[in-house]
Structure 1
C-alpha cells in the first residue's frame, strides 16, 4: 500500500516548481491532493498532470495573504475529499536585489505578507481543523535564507527566518496533540522562481552552482521527496526542524 493511501494532502503554491513536484509525489503515493494557487492556469495544469498519472486532485484558487481564501481552501479540501491529513505550505515570493537602505516598504510588505503571514494564516486554519479531527502533519517552506544571511535580500531573508520561528513555535505548541510541524530549507532549486532570480543569465546560474559543494543546483523532486518523507510515519519522531536540502551549501 502507498504511504498516503486514503489520506488528503493540501499544497499551496502548487502550480509550479517545488509545489507542483510535491503535489505529484503525494498523488503517486496515494493521496488525494488539493492545489491552492493564485494562478488558476498553473494550478489546473498541476491537477491535469496528476490526473494523467492516475491520481486524484482538485484546484482551489488561493491568495494566501487573505484569510478568507485559506478558510475556503480548507473547506474545499474537506468537502472534496472528507478531511485534511497533511499540508505543505509552500506559496512564496522572492525580492529584487537591493541593499537594505534601497529596499522599499512596498517590497518588504509584499514579501512578508506572502512568505510569513501566508504561512501563519495557513497554519492557523490547518491546525484548527487538525485539532478537531485527530491530528495531522504540516511542512512549511523556508530556505537556506532562513538559516544564513544573503546580502541584497533583506526582506526575503527576514521572511524565511520568520518561517522557521513560526514552525518551531507551533511545533512545540501542538507536539502532544498529534500535530507534527517541520520546515524544509532548500538551496538553489531549478524552478521558475530561480529563473526569475537569475534573469536567464548563465553566469549567475554558474555562480550559484559554484556555491553548492555538490556542484549543481537542486531539482524540485529532491525537495518533494523530503517533504513527503516528513509527512509520512517514517518521520514520526521529527518535530520542529528546519531541514536543509542544499547540496552542502550551509555545511561550509
Structure 2
C-alpha cells in the first residue's frame, strides 16, 4: 500500500510555526497541493514564498478559525485554488497556563473554543465538501481528517487544565466523527505527541537544563522527538496506507505516557 499523497489537496492549520509548519512543508515535498493556514499572515508569507519560488503548489490563508465566516472563506479559497479538498490537518493549537482553583480564570473556555470547536467546525465543513466532490458510483476513499492532540489529554497537569481538557475532548471528537463519517468513506484520526524539539522548546531548554533532564528521564527512548517524526505519522494517516484505520489516536512520545511516575522517581 502506498504512502503517497501526491496530487492530493491538503489544508493544514497552524502552519506558520512549529509542528504545523513541519507537516505542511512535508506534504508539499510529498507532492500534495497544500494550503497553509494561520493567523500570522507575515509568517505564512515568509514560509510559503520560498516554496512558491520553487514552483511548489502552495497557497496561504490568514484568518481566525474561531469565526464561522473564516472557515467558509477558507474552503472557498481552497476549492478555487485546487478544485477539491482531500486532507485536513487540524494542527492549530494554543497552550495556556490555567489556575484550576480560580473561578474567574476563563482559560478552559478559551482553549475549548480554540483547540476543539474551531477544529470541529472546520472538520464538519471540510467533510461536507469531500462528500460533495465524490464521483458517482465510486467506492474510493473520500478523504482523511487528522487532528493534532497531546499526551496531556491522558495525564493530569493541573496548571494546564484548559489545554488538557481541550485535548481530551479533541480525542473523543476524533472517535465520534470517525464513526459518523465512516459510511461516507472519510477517515478521522489523531496524532498525540509529547515533547517535540520546536523553537519554543529549544529556548526553554537553553535557559533551563533541568527541563531537558526531566523530559529525558521520563522518556524510555531517551530523547526528544523532531517535528518530522510527528509529520511522518500524519502523512501515514493522510495516505492510503492507513485506508483501514479510523478513530485512532496514534501516540508519538517515545513511550513517555507509559511510565508510572513512581517508577521514574525510584530510579
TM bracket (short chain):
over 0.9
- 129 and 90 in structure 1: CA distance in 2 versus 1, 3 angstrom threshold: same
Aligned twin of 1:221: 228
* Secondary structure at 1:243 match in 2: strand
CA deviations 1:159-189 (Å, max 9, x no partner) are: 0000001110000001121100000001111
Does the Cα contact within 8 Å between 1:8 and 1:85 map onto a contact in 2?
yes
* Secondary structure at 1:95 match in 2: coil
Point out the structure with max Rg over C-alpha.
2
Aligned to 1:179, which of 180, 186, 191?
A: 186
Deviation at 1:104, TM superposition (A): 4.5
Q: Does 1:14 align with 2:15?
A: yes
Does the Cα contact within 8 Å between 1:99 and 1:152 map onto a contact in 2?
yes
Q: Does 1:91 align with 2:92?
A: yes
| Equivalent-residue separation in structure 1 for 2:107 and 2:56 (angstroms) | 38
TM-score (norm 1): 0.92
TM-score (norm 2): 0.87
RMSD of aligned alpha carbons = 2.1
Deviation at 1:142, TM superposition (A): 0.8
Aligned twin of 2:42: 41
Does the Cα contact within 8 Å between 1:2 and 1:30 map onto a contact in 2?
no
* Secondary structure at 1:138 match in 2: strand
Does the Cα contact within 8 Å between 2:220 and 2:254 map onto a contact in 1?
yes
Aligned to 1:238, which of 232, 245, 249?
A: 245
* Secondary structure at 2:159 match in 1: coil
Q: Does 1:139 align with 2:161?
A: no
Does the Cα contact within 8 Å between 2:5 and 2:238 map onto a contact in 1?
no
CA deviations 1:188-219 (Å, max 9, x no partner) are: 11224545877943322332232211112111
Aligned pair count?
Answer: 251
Deviation at 1:250, TM superposition (A): 1.6
Aligned twin of 1:161: 168
* Secondary structure at 1:78 match in 2: helix
Deviation at 1:111, TM superposition (A): 1.3
* Secondary structure at 1:239 match in 2: coil
| Unmatched runs of 5 consecutive residues or more in structure 2 | 135-141, 260-267
Deviation at 1:136, TM superposition (A): 0.8
| Unmatched runs of 5 consecutive residues or more in structure 1 | none
Aligned twin of 2:127: 127
Deviation at 1:52, TM superposition (A): 5.1
